[in-house]
Amino acid sequence: MKSLDLAVRAASVLLLAQAAVHASPGAVSASKPEPALLSTNDAAPLSTLTTSTVDGDSLAVSDAEVETASIRGANIGGVFLIEPFIKPSLFDQFLSGSNPADIPVDEWTFSAALGKAEARRQLEEHWDTFVTRDHLESLAENGINWIRIPIGYWAFNVTDDEPYVDGQVPYIERLLEWSRDIGLKVELDLHGAPGSQNGYDNSGRRGTPEWLHSRVNVDRTLDVLSKMTGLAAEWSDVVRGIQILNEPSRWKWEVKDIFGFYNEAYDLVRGLAPDVYFMIHDTFLGPKEWPTLVAPRWTQALMDTHIYQMFDNYMVTMNESAHIDMVATMAEDIVKFDRSSIGVVVGEFSAATHDCTKYINGLGRGSRWEGTLQGVTDKPLCPFANCSCTGDYGSNYTEFSGHYKRFLRNYIDAQLDVYDQELVGWFFWNFRTEGAPEWDYLLGVEQGWIPKFPRTAVPKPEVSSSSSGDDESGSAAQSGASRSRLCLGEWACGAVAVLGTVVAASAALAML
């Protein structure tokens, strides 16, 4: 009976996985970049599914080519809804001399602390500089053919009593114009709803979610979707997808109520844009339960799922080999759903397998890795004898060992083997960051742990219980724990089998 109890507990922990994270690299390290230790296929031709270049001029491909291609996308996160871990410098300005309780932790408190005039000044500078045409061209040159643009509701509907500032739409339209010129397709993503749909900072307001507690909030959300879909209709050759809401929490709302909103949103979107992809999030349900979120009458519908392996106490304890093996375990039922129902897009994933990244669990919170995440763990959970957010697990990619870079490449390749080949496609989170290397697509391509396209998969190395031998920092060498760590024994493997798949992650629920 004890083993059964442990299995139930393991299943409970895994079900509490949450995907509330995002990233974007503001300024890449000013030091000279370390030469990439991995092949980045520099000699391979650029993917003909995005753009080609002749005498320095970018040539957009036809709509037909892009529409029939797998979605290979990057999130333009942290721009029109700021998050502390994507651009920490926006929030670090408040740290000196401030009462910790008064330090902003999301866009709501950021704007409230500065006041509308100063918040607008700082945010307009951020909107103007954090994502540029050069960034989009670099993404396209390395095989990206779609971008996902997360947007807070206040860009379209803000009230006088809310601290948020608007003015984002001209900058969004500039992105659409650049995308048209370059040959990128776009998904517009409603990332934050009135009242907060999940209570995470990625909704714009951290704390207790109030979204479905008020019909006023729902009506405002539908108004925002109407305006967002109207924008999509104006740019119909560029905007090919509308995500009606990012990560509404099924832990906070009844699934039937979320589905009721999805149905209302479908009628609204279809009335304005008959052909655009109608994209819904899985609300953190397992794939076997996804049919409860889908109506048979829907057309051009896609399921969005977010897959991370670091927002969970159990997953943080896994060694490198276990993380790679877990990719297939987590994806098995997702692939089955994709083949039997509507298509699936992995709207968020990254190269990270630890939660050391600054502010990744929220500003002012610690990490499971070092055992400092209050309310979640009081002991370090990393798979090593000594747990430290330095070296391979720090924010300075120039300190990454050759061993760790190869692991990152193998981990990304394991994910792309499924997301790129078996599903409709994917969007990496994020296009860039300010000191979160494993979350930075452009940096990953530059350094070689993210492939250019067409890609050549890197063979998976044999992982033994001994050190890998060429680990410069020594930290990655500790990852050769027994293969049984993947399931912590047969009882947990049974729990994983019952769950089918674990999608996205975080026990941050306990902190709300």
CA 165 to chain centre: 24
SS3 123: helix
In the block, which residue shows the tokens 């009242």? 195
Catalytic choice (83, 187, 348, 434): 348
Token pair, residue 137, equals 């061209």
CA distance 368 to 381: 6
In 309-363, where do the E strands start and end?
Answer: 343-348
- Find residue 344's DSSP bridge partners: 303
Catalytic choice (83, 107, 141, 247): 247
Closest C-alpha among 351, 485, 482, 348 to residue 407: 351
Closest C-alpha among 231, 156, 145 to residue 192: 156
Please list, residue by residue across 400-425, b when 16 or more beta carbons sit within 10 angstroms of its beta carbon and e when fewer do.
bbebbbbbbbbbbbbbbebbbeebbb
3-state DSSP percent of the chain in helix, strand and coil, to 5? 40, 10, 50
The yes-or-no answer on residue 348 being catalytic is yes
Say how many C-beta atoms besides its own lie within 10 A of residue 30's C-beta: 5
Torsion of the alpha carbons at 193, 247, 25 and 456, rounded to the nearest 10:
-150
Token pair, residue 432, equals 């860039």
Q: If you compute the radius of gyration of the chain from its CA atoms, what whole number of angstroms results?
A: 22
In the block, which residue shows the tokens 């979350």? 439
CA distance 460 to 221: 45
In the block, which residue shows the tokens 């819904």? 280
The yes-or-no answer on residue 247 being catalytic is yes
In the block, which residue shows the tokens 């910790």? 100
Token pair, residue 335, equals 């692939």
Contact predicate 471/384, CB 8 Å:
no
Contacts of 223 (CB under 8 A, 6+ apart): 156, 157
Q: What are φ and ψ of residue 281, in 5° steps?
A: -95, 155
In 258-374, where do the E strands start and end?
Answer: 277-281, 301-306, 343-348
Which stretch of DSSP H or E encloses residue 386?
none
Q: What is the DSSP letter of 426?
A: E
CA distance 263 to 61: 34
Handedness of CA 54, 60, 64, 68 (dihedral sign): positive
Question: Which residues participate in catalysis according to the annotation?
Answer: 247, 348
